[in-house]
Amino acid sequence: MFYRVSIYIACLICSLSLRAQFDPPAGQPGSRAIHADSNVFIDWVKDVVVKRGWVEAGNESLGNASYGQESDILGKADLSAVSLGDGGTATLSFNFPIWNGPGPDFAVFENSFSDSFLELAFVEVSSDGEYFVRFPAQSLTQTDVQIESFGSLEAAKLHNLAGKYRGMYGVPFDLDELRNQPDIDVQSITHIRIIDVIGSLDPLLGSFDDEGRLINDPYPTPFPTSGFDLDAVGVIYDTRNLLVPEQNKSAIRCFPQPASDVLYVEFTAPAIIESINVYDLQGKLIYKSNLLVEGKLSLESFPAGSFIVEVSTIDTKIRQVFMKR
Ligand SMILES: [Ca+2]
Ligand SMILES: [Ca+2]
C-alpha cells in the first residue's frame, strides 16, 4: 500500500512539474500564434541555404531527407516546405536587417496538418552570418517514453521552439530576449538559422533544451519528409521601419510616447487620409477609421500595451509603433 501511495505521489509531483505552462495551440485563448495573412508581416525570406540532415540520425544508410526544394522557403507561408531531416539546417537571409521592435520581431512557419503532430526546430540569429545565438528553447514534454513517428505533442509544453503550431500559423520570436547577448546586435539581425531538433531520447543522438532536458519529438521519422518542415519565416520589423525615406522624414509624427488617453498624429505637409488602422502586435485589427478629428486618436477604449498605427494617405502608407500606458 505504502509503495502504491509513494508511486502515486511521485506521479503527482512528476505531472505537476511537467504541467503545461506556455501558450496553447493556434486559435485557443492565449495562443501567441500569428496567421500568415496577418498585417504584421512586412517581408519574408529572400535567400536560403539548406543543409539536409539524415532521414534517421541513428541509421545513416537511409541517406538524407529529400522532400521539397529551397525555393519552397522563400516568400509568404503557403504550406510548401523543405524537410530538413534529423539535425538539418536552413540559413536564411532577408532584404533588410531585422530589428527588435516592441513584442515579437519575426515568426517561423512549419507545415503541420494538426495541432498535435509537431516537429520542432531551434531558432538562432546572427548579425554577421557567422556567429549565431540560439533562442532559449524549453520543452516540458515527458522524457520517459519516446514520441513515435506519428505521435502527439502538446504545444503548451513548448517554448521558443519553431513548429509548435499547425501550418499557416507562425511561432513568434522576440529579439528582446537576446538583447544582452554579446557578439550580436538585436537592432540588426541579418541571418536566421533553423536547426531541426532530433527528438530521440537517446542522449547520444538527441537534442537538449536550454535547461539541459532532452527534447522529445517524433522519432524516428524514416521518410523523405523527415524532420522539421520549414515553410516560411515572416518579418515583423526590419530596418525599413527605421529608415523613413528622406522626403517623408518629417511628414508624420505620432506622440506622445508612451501615450495615455490620446495619440496625436501630426502631418508636416498637407495629406489626405484614406484610412487609419490600429493593430495589436499579434496583427489583429482593433481600430479602423477613415478620418482623424483634430489630429487626435482617442485611446480610451484601448488596453495598455504596444500597438501599430498604420496611416494611409493617397500617396503613402506609414506604420509606427506606439505604446499606451
Ligand atoms: Ca522585439
Ligand atoms: Ca513555403
Encode pLDDT of 10-34 as tens digits: 444 444 445 669 999 999 999 999 9
CB atoms within 10 A of CB 147: 21
Dist. CA 50 → ligand 1 center (Å): 26
Encode pLDDT of 48-103 as tens digits: 999 999 999 989 999 999 999 999 999 999 999 999 999 999 999 999 899 888 88
Dist. CA 45 → ligand 2 center (Å): 10
Q: What is the CATH number of the domain that holds 89?
A: 2.60.120.260
Dist. CA 56 → ligand 2 center (Å): 23
Whether 134 is in a domain gets the answer yes
Which ligand is located closest to the Cα atom of residue 231? Answer: 2
Number of domains in the chain: 2
Q: Is-contact 158 120, C-beta < 8 A?
A: yes
Q: What is the CATH number of the domain that holds 312?
A: 2.60.40.3080
Whether 187 is in a domain gets the answer yes
CB atoms within 10 A of CB 268: 11
Which ligand is located closest to the Cα atom of residue 168? Answer: 2
Encode pLDDT of 211-230 as tens digits: 999 999 999 988 899 999 99
Confidence (pTM): 0.74
Give residue 255's pLDDT.
Answer: 85
Dist. CA 46 → ligand 2 center (Å): 12
**Are 44 and 177 part of one and the same domain?**
yes
Dist. CA 227 → ligand 1 center (Å): 28
Domain residues for 300?
Answer: 244-324
**How is residue 230 written as a grid cell?**
520549414
Neighbours of ion ligand 1 (CB under 5 A): 100, 105, 174-176
Whether 8 is in a domain gets the answer no
**Are 201 and 319 part of one and the same domain?**
no
Please report where in the chains the cell 519552397 appears, as a residue. 72
**Are 77 and 178 part of one and the same domain?**
yes
Whether 13 is in a domain gets the answer no
DSSP 296-310: EEE-TTSPSEEEEEE
Whether 136 is in a domain gets the answer yes
State mean pLDDT over 103-119: 96
* Cα 140 to Cα 184: distance, rounded to the nearest angstrom: 28
Domain-ending residue, one of 240, 270, 300 = 240
